[in-house]
Structure 1
Amino acid sequence: MLTARNPDQLRDLVEKHNDAVLVTPLDVTQQDQVDRAYAAAIDRFGRVDVLVNNAGYGYLAAIEEGEDAEMRALFETDLFAPVNLIKKVLPGMRERRQGHIVNVSSIGGLVTYPGVGYYHMVKFGLEAMSDTLAKEVAGLGIGVTVVAPGAFRTDFRGPESMKFSSIVIDDYKDTAGKSREGTAAGHRKQIGDPARGAEAIIKAVEAEHPLVHLLIGGDALDQLRKKLEDVRAETDAWEAVTRSTDFKD
């Protein structure tokens, strides 16, 4: 089953797979549409074996530039909607003791950059929720994989998937401002191949022992390794102070 706010965008997949595909319109922030989509899936296929939470968009703003309505809308789509969909399919998966949930996060759910703070918030939240959920359902025959892509050549950096704050503060031009410029300039020039990324996700889900955290894209791997090195160096340097806060017997 395939869903999208605009089902016409999925026409090529329908033509390729014919009756094997059911396409249903879905705005993940609208509960009535979620209910109808789930009911349609059950009516056609009898159950949901795999849920892929891939809906989302980006929002660039320095923290001070963030607009309240835009911030809340981002959380509704990128974090709260995936949680809602997971809660929709989990009862059936628990009953069958079988299923897999895939949450598409971002390397931005593991590392941070100026100007991307609000997007980092929702993706860090998705990473934490996925990691927790994986522990909760591990004994129920249900797998959870959270995917952290690097920069893939999709429409994500285009005008339909990337929003920019209308508030621009000049003092942030060399930090958040650079992120705005770089994101727009990198559209359609990303190193990641979407088809190969999809193959990697399928491979992870079908593995005998599916992993919880999947990085896709060499750039994502390089960024995470750099962060791990930095965190290790910082925590090691401050170890004495950290341990000094414990009670002394």
Structure 2
Amino acid sequence: MSRVWFVTGANSGFGRAITEAAVRAGDIVVAAARRVEALDDLVAAHPDQVDPVRLDVTDPAAIDAVIADVLARHGRIDVLVNNAGRTHVGALEETTDAELRSLFEVHLFGPAALTRAVLPHMRERRSGAIVQLSSMGGQMSFAGFSAYSATKFALEGLSEGLADEVRPLGITVLIVEPGAFRTGLFGGGSFSAELPEYADTVGATRQMVQSNNGTQPGDPAKAAAAIITALDAERTPLRLPLGGDAVDAVLGHLDAVRTEVTEWEKVARTTQFD
């Protein structure tokens, strides 16, 4: 039986690639976006499979109304893909409260609200999958991405706990951690006002984001295929890094963490009561 997907940010990047892959598999996609007009070509080509809905994931009331409408019309949501997002570059000192809160609204509070909205239905059916689009920056960070990574770290912590909560209920959680893929992420990001003291650190990240847009090595269509493969596997992984850069970065980070913990293990173990 075909699945019903609900994909946020479906008008571009990973969201569009996942929508196209699900359609090719014969599934139905409720394609959510702030600019649904960008989906006109997909709707025209697949009118019975692509159902566009206008949604801003930072609007909790709209989330509840849209999910209720989708369930009324389609009867179920088999796969929720929390994909909507954007990048941001700035040193922590440069990043304002407004910029930081805005990122958390998109990357954490929106996905949390959508997840809560679909869970009662998935619990009742004892089936379903929740796909969280994180980043390799959800496991590590570096200069310029402190705010961005903070939101992705939070999403991964939320999702890891969620996975334990819903696994006995027949619901799967998949955290996707892409590296550099040729999406519009770098082109649609925001930048904090610059302080000269961070020119040598954050400045390099700004330059990388501005100059690499459109030349990233990752293919979103192949990423979408990998996500579907993971969802269809007998044992879906909790985390799925995508791209050689992400795999290398995650493994390197884990090795560095293990090395440091081992180096300080003796001191760490002396902190218990005698």
TM-score (norm 2): 0.87
The amino acid that maps onto 1:24 is: V
Q: Following TM superposition, by how much is the alpha carbon of 1:111 offset from its aligned partner in structure 2, in angstroms?
A: 1.1
Q: Return 211-220 or 81-90, whichever deviates more.
A: 211-220
The count of aligned residue pairs is: 245
Q: Following TM superposition, by how much is the alpha carbon of 1:33 offset from its aligned partner in structure 2, in angstroms?
A: 2.2
1:217 aligns to 2:217 (yes or no): no
Q: Return 36-45 or 184-193, whichever deviates more.
A: 36-45
Contact 1:51/1:100 (CA < 8 Å) preserved in 2? yes
Contact 2:94/2:195 (CA < 8 Å) preserved in 1? yes
The amino acid that maps onto 2:32 is: T
Q: Following TM superposition, by how much is the alpha carbon of 1:20 offset from its aligned partner in structure 2, in angstroms?
A: 1.7
> In the TM superposition, what whole-angstrom CA distance separates every residue of 1:20-56 from its partner, at most 9, and x where no partner exists?
2211001011123213321331122111111000011
1:128 aligns to 2:128 (yes or no): no
Alignment of 1:73-222 (within 5 A): 73-158=102-187, 161-165=188-192, 167-222=193-248
2: CA distance between counterparts of 1:97 and 1:138?
10
1: CA distance between counterparts of 2:68 and 2:253?
43
2: CA distance between counterparts of 1:36 and 1:45?
14
2: CA distance between counterparts of 1:127 and 1:35?
23
2: CA distance between counterparts of 1:5 and 1:203?
28
1:40 aligns to 2:69 (yes or no): yes
2: CA distance between counterparts of 1:43 and 1:22?
13
2: CA distance between counterparts of 1:162 and 1:46?
36
> In the TM superposition, what whole-angstrom CA distance separates every residue of 1:67-117 from its partner, at most 9, and x where no partner exists?
111111111111110000000000011111111100000000011110110
> In the TM superposition, what whole-angstrom CA distance separates every residue of 1:209-237 from its partner, at most 9, and x where no partner exists?
21111111111000011111111111111
1:29 aligns to 2:58 (yes or no): yes
Contact 2:60/2:110 (CA < 8 Å) preserved in 1? no
1: CA distance between counterparts of 2:178 and 2:41?
24
Q: Can you give the 5+ residue segments of structure 1 that lack an aligned partner in the other structure?
A: none
> In the TM superposition, what whole-angstrom CA distance separates every residue of 1:133-183 from its partner, at most 9, and x where no partner exists?
00001100000001000010010000xx21001x21101001111111111
Tell me the secondary structure at the aligned position of residue 214 of structure 1. strand
Tell me the secondary structure at the aligned position of residue 80 of structure 2. strand
Q: In the alignment, which residue of structure 1 is the partner of 2:26?
A: none
Q: Return 11-20 or 215-224, whichever deviates more.
A: 11-20
Task: Report sequence identity in percent.
Answer: 46
Q: Write out the 4+ residue segments of structure 1 that deviate beyond 4 Å after TM superposition.
A: none
Tell me the secondary structure at the aligned position of residue 18 of structure 1. coil
Contact 1:60/1:164 (CA < 8 Å) preserved in 2? yes
Contact 1:197/1:216 (CA < 8 Å) preserved in 2? yes
Tell me the secondary structure at the aligned position of residue 144 of structure 2. coil
Q: In the alignment, which residue of structure 2 is the partner of 1:61?
A: 90
Contact 1:2/1:24 (CA < 8 Å) preserved in 2? yes
The amino acid that maps onto 1:140 is: L
